[in-house]
Structures are given as C-alpha cells and as structure tokens.
Structure 1
Amino acid sequence: MKRMIRCSGAAVLLALAGCTATTTAVAPKPEDADKVVGYFRKKVNLPASAAPKVTDLKASPIPGAGQGVIEVGNQKQPFLLSSDGRYAVFGSVEDLTVNPFEAVMKKISLTGRAIKGPETAKVTIVEYSDFQCPYCARGYQTVENEVLKEYGDKVRFVYKHFPLNFHPWAELGAVAVECARQQNEPAYWKLYSAFFDHQRDVNPQNLKEKSHEYMAGTNIDKAQFDDCLDNKKTADLVKADQQEGTSVGVNGTPAFIINGRLLSGAQPAAAFKAIIDDELASQK
C-alpha cells in the first residue's frame, strides 16, 4: 500500500491548473468525492472486496482546492481535489513556510528529562532505544564513546524509551531508570550505562537486585526505588515516549532524532558526524 502515498509532479501541476477558476477553497462535493474513490480504486488496483470510504471533506489550505481522506481498512490516504472536481492529488498538504525538522522537534518533549549537555547547544540528539536490544548497545557505545566526546558542549543528548514487546525486561528496565531519575540524575545515568554494559547479565527476575548493585554510591533510597519499580509508577512516561517516537517516525531501535532529522539503526560515528557537522555549519 506504499503506492498510496505517492504523487507525481505532473499531477500537482494539473491540480494547480484546475484551481485557477477560483481563489476560494471549498469542500469537495460528495459526488466529486465518489469520483475520487472510483479513480483511486483503479489506480492502486484495489480488490473488489475492498470498501474504501471518504472522510473529513473540507476546504483545503490551498486556494481553489478541497481536501479529504480515503480510508481503506486501517490505512488512510489524504487527497486534494480541484474546485471543478477534475484533478486530484494524492498525498498530504505541506506548508512550505514551515521547517520540517523544526516541526519534528516541536513534537518532542524535553520537560523534566535527564539531559547531557548544555541548553545552549546548537544540536540536540534524542535517542529512542531499548535496553535489551543488542543494536542499541552498539548505538550506546557510539554515542557515549565517540559522538559526545568529539562534540562536547556543541551537542546535548536525551535518552527516551522505546522498549520492544519481545524483549522480556526492556520495559521494566525503562521503568527502573525513570524511577532512579525521580531521585537523582547521577543514578539515572549510572543505571542507563550499566543496563547496556551488562545487557546479558540482566533478566526480569534479577533486575531489581542488579539495579541496586549498579546504582551503588548514588545515594538512592532503595525502599523508595523498589516501591516505584514494583508499582511501575513511571510506566506512563515510558508509554508516552513510545507514542512520541512513533509520531516522529520511529519504528525500530535504536533511532536518533538529530535536530529533527531521523537517523535509524546502529550507525557508525561518521553517520552522526555528517548530520551534526551540517547542522553546525548551517547555524553559523
């Protein structure tokens, strides 16, 4: 169904040509919307059993065009329609006055999070990761031992949670580090590092005991930590991180958002460097 989200430059030009009769945006007529569905069914070769429907008919931000959404099962395809009902563009409407990278960063909340690096840093790296994922452990080594050391106070780093449901202790580990953060950040970062450094030594049964061991010397109140962990008091934050990650394009781990740019997978330091250097150069 990936074909559903493609549109051609020719179609865009035709749509604009069809909009010249009026500068007022109007909602598509139901009969014109039916024509869109009929065309779309043929264009993507929908099976006879498919039952596409049109929703959210309204005026478009583009003068002279209306818009709507074709729904096929759980998938949605936005479309634009010229005022005369002749031309359609399949795809989302993009506001060219908006920086897409800035739009991504606005979806990410940094409030109350543990952050490495100064607030004045020109580059912000947000990682969505899973403590039990082996590729995430590789990403951790790259970020901590190469990227952050090379760029120092030019970057700031935020770790967010995206535990995968087939990793038995990943979610509990995420809950644990956030329980630690509620008491102090040194405990948070120490536990964060230990979970990656000792990934193979941790399991659901010993996670609490291992957490105590890894946070030694951080003045953690163990009873308070245990209560938080046992009752999963930070689980909502972990879930919010996952939802946020999905909203900015994360679909696997590790994933990094660097000033709004998505970098997926356990990439080498050179991949980070290419983006960071470009961002730093663009801000001079």
Structure 2
Amino acid sequence: MEKILASKMRKSILATATSVVLAVFFLFPGSLFALDNVDVGKLEHHFKNRYGVYLPGGFTVKVVKVKDSDIKGFKEGGYQVGFPDGRSRTYPFFVSRDSRFLIMGSAPTVKVDEMEETGVEGMRRGFLATEGGQVPILVSGDGKTIMVGDLENLDADPAADTARKISLENVPSKGDPEAQVTVVEYSDFQCGYCARAANQVADFLKEYKGKVKFFYKQFPLSFHKWAEEASIASLCVYDQSNEKFWKFHDAIFEKQGEIKVANAKKTLEELARGLGVDMKKYNECVKSEQAKRRVASDMKEGKSIGVSGTPTFVVDGFVISGGANIKAIRNAVDYRLSLNSERSGR
C-alpha cells in the first residue's frame, strides 16, 4: 500500500534531486491546530477526499511544527503519520492563509526565468524540463524560493478532472449501470500482469455485484507486437456484442502464451468465429482505420491521466497503477462506497 501511495505522490509532486519529500501521504480528521485563517476542517476534508482511496486502516495523523514560512501568504508545517506497525514519519506541507491552496513538499531554492501568475498572492507557476517530462514548480513572488509541485484547489473535487477525461461511451462494460462506483481498466492483451488481473477482476466483480460498474479500455504497449492487433479485434467483436467481447477477452488471455505474431491473425479469427461472430463484418472492421483510431484514442486518453503501464485501474477518477493489485482496488472501492454511504446518510 505504501508503494502505491508513494507512486501517486511522485506523480502529483514529481520530485527531482531536491529535498522535497515524496512518498505516502495520509490525512485523517483530528487535527486541532489553529493556523491563522486556515480552515483545518476544510484542509482535512480535502486530503480525505483526495487520498482516501489509498489509505489503509489503523493509521493516525496530526499536524505538527506549524510556523510562518518565507513565502508570503503561506504557512508551513508537517503531517505526522503514525503507521499501524508503530512507525511514524512527518511529511512537510505549505498551506495558504486564506485556506484555498495546499502544497505538499518542502521548498528547495532554484533560479528560474519565466513564470506565470497563479492568481495567488506571492506565488507564480512554471515548469522544469526533465527526462520524464515537464515538472511543475512554484516560485515565491520575490523569486528567491522555489518548490517542486503545483497548487491544489481545496474547493475542487480532486478526482473530477481525471473522471471527466475518461469517455465511457461505446466501451465494453460489466456490472450494474446504476452502481455507485465506476472502475475503468486500461489493459494490454499481451501483458502477463493483465492476464493475471483478468482472473482476479472476475472474482472481484462477483464479490461486488451490484456495487461496481466496470469498463475495459485498450492500452496495447508498443513492445508487445500483437497486442494492438488483439485490441482492434476485440473492439470489432464488441461492436457485435458486449457479451461476446468478454468471452473473446477471456479466450485471448487463456491462449496468451500460445499466440505469436505469426499466428495472431489466424488465432483471433478462430476465437471470433467460435463465438458465432459475423465474420464478414468482423473482417471489414479489423481492416478499417476507424478501429485503429479507437484504440489510439483509448491510449491517448490513458496517457492524459497518467497511464504508462498495464494494467492500470481508475476508481471513480483515482488512478491505481502498480500491476494487478486487486487489494488496492478493493480498498479504493470500499472507501468510495463508505463515502457514498456517509453522504446518503446526511
């Protein structure tokens, strides 16, 4: 669980060789620290909503060492996390005095030239170029202090932007369409971890019947030479029947070890034919540019929300990577269900 949280924080804050502390961030209601005009309840609610799906039970958190910072308009402090095994660790943060913005991490000093205004007094935004892409940075108004990270709006739903980027129209699905929690998988038919996940997901959906609606997205990795062909074929089967798609999906993973580039086309055709698919329509579809564009669209969408490997799952807009980690998905779903239960009980 800590590894998953560490991965999420690295993507959120994207540490370089600075002193920014990135790993697992937890928050739990209970902090009673008065931070000038900062609304601690709002701060805690934001973190609970932002990171709650990744939190295990039994941890404790309290705000410590809060003091004025060198950045105008912000306080600095730390979240002291107590883990169930007795360990503890403190993670630094900055919070604006008006209780609107939070920055996780410490403040290394770096010089930058061009920055843009954020709308927050004493804070400008820019980017540093790295091998992994652009790293968001924030710079104090006087240009003397820089932090690796970005502003998080405490008034916004942290997963809403991710959820909005995911199209669920004309996508293979399972489960109750009215279920409370939405799970999306980005997968690759040639991926060994995805094959393992397929079996686990089947059991998971039985366990959460009526509670989860599940969607399958295509994300064939470039080094898997027949994966894209399988993705295209699966969508052509889906166009004829959602039910047959899932049977085709299961059959590909069952035969994954037998499929090679040389026999992929024939094997996929045989599997489709065995399901009673209209082969004329199927063959026309697999040759079409439209089918290829649909796969490319899924991949572009996945990359836009941070998908880089498979399988990657998204639970109500919260991205869970790290392979076939069904335990993490269960924790996320359980949390979202409990949150919905709390809301309905109000």
Instruction: Please give the TM-score of this superposition, normalised by the length of structure 1.
Output: 0.77
Which deviates further from its counterpart, 166-175 or 68-77? 68-77
Report what 1:3 is aligned to.
16
For residue 173 of structure 1, report the CA deviation from its aligned partner.
0.2
For residue 7 of structure 1, report the CA deviation from its aligned partner.
4.4
Report what 1:97 is aligned to.
155
Shift of the 76–5 alpha-carbon distance from structure 1 to 2, 3 Å rule, reads: farther
Report what 1:159 is aligned to.
216
Aligned positions, number: 255
For residue 11 of structure 1, report the CA deviation from its aligned partner.
11
Q: What are the equivalent positions in structure 2 for 1:119-268 lying under 5 Å apart?
A: 119-144=177-202, 146-216=203-273, 218-267=275-324
In 1, Cα distance between equivalents of 2:323 and 2:268: 25
For residue 184 of structure 1, report the CA deviation from its aligned partner.
2.4
Q: Are positions 1:88 and 2:101 aligned together? A: no
In 1, Cα distance between equivalents of 2:271 and 2:142: 67
* Structure ranking higher in strand proportion: 2
Report what 2:85 is aligned to.
none
3-state DSSP class of the match of 1:275? helix
**Is 1:208–1:226's contact at 8 Å kept on the other side of the alignment?**
no
Shift of the 226–121 alpha-carbon distance from structure 1 to 2, 3 Å rule, reads: same
Q: Which amino acid aligns with 1:254?
A: P
In 2, Cα distance between equivalents of 1:264 and 1:218: 32
Match of 1:281 among 304, 314, 338: 338
Q: Are positions 1:15 and 2:65 aligned together? A: no
Shift of the 194–265 alpha-carbon distance from structure 1 to 2, 3 Å rule, reads: farther
3-state DSSP class of the match of 2:16? helix
3-state DSSP class of the match of 2:147? strand
Higher relative contact order (CA 8 A, sep 6+): 1
Larger Rg: 1
In 2, Cα distance between equivalents of 1:272 and 1:78: 28
Report what 2:110 is aligned to.
40
Match of 2:174 among 109, 116, 119: 116
In 1, Cα distance between equivalents of 2:256 and 2:128: 45
Q: Which amino acid aligns with 1:225?
A: Y
Which deviates further from its counterpart, 165-174 or 67-76? 67-76
| Structure 1 portions without partners, runs of 5+ | 24-38, 42-52
In 1, Cα distance between equivalents of 2:259 and 2:68: 54
Which deviates further from its counterpart, 157-166 or 254-263? 254-263
Root-mean-square deviation (CA, aligned residues, Å) is 3.1
- Deviations along 1:26-76, one digit per CA (max 9) or x if unpaired, are xxxxxxxxxxxxx526xxxxxxxxxxx745x32213134332233357742
In 2, Cα distance between equivalents of 1:236 and 1:12: 53
3-state DSSP class of the match of 1:228? helix
In 1, Cα distance between equivalents of 2:68 and 2:264: 55
Report what 2:89 is aligned to.
none
For residue 226 of structure 1, report the CA deviation from its aligned partner.
1.1
- Deviations along 1:152-182, one digit per CA (max 9) or x if unpaired, are 1110111111111221211100011112222
In 1, Cα distance between equivalents of 2:68 and 2:162: 25
Report what 1:69 is aligned to.
127
Shift of the 11–260 alpha-carbon distance from structure 1 to 2, 3 Å rule, reads: farther
In 1, Cα distance between equivalents of 2:191 and 2:322: 11
Q: Which amino acid aligns with 1:237?
A: R
* Structure ranking higher in helix proportion: 1
Q: Which amino acid aligns with 2:136?
A: P
**Is 1:190–1:214's contact at 8 Å kept on the other side of the alignment?**
no
For residue 259 of structure 1, report the CA deviation from its aligned partner.
1.6
3-state DSSP class of the match of 2:314? strand
**Is 1:6–1:91's contact at 8 Å kept on the other side of the alignment?**
no
Percentage identity across paired residues of the two chains: 32
**Is 2:139–2:145's contact at 8 Å kept on the other side of the alignment?**
yes
- Deviations along 1:175-219, one digit per CA (max 9) or x if unpaired, are 111122222222322211111111122233333332333234655
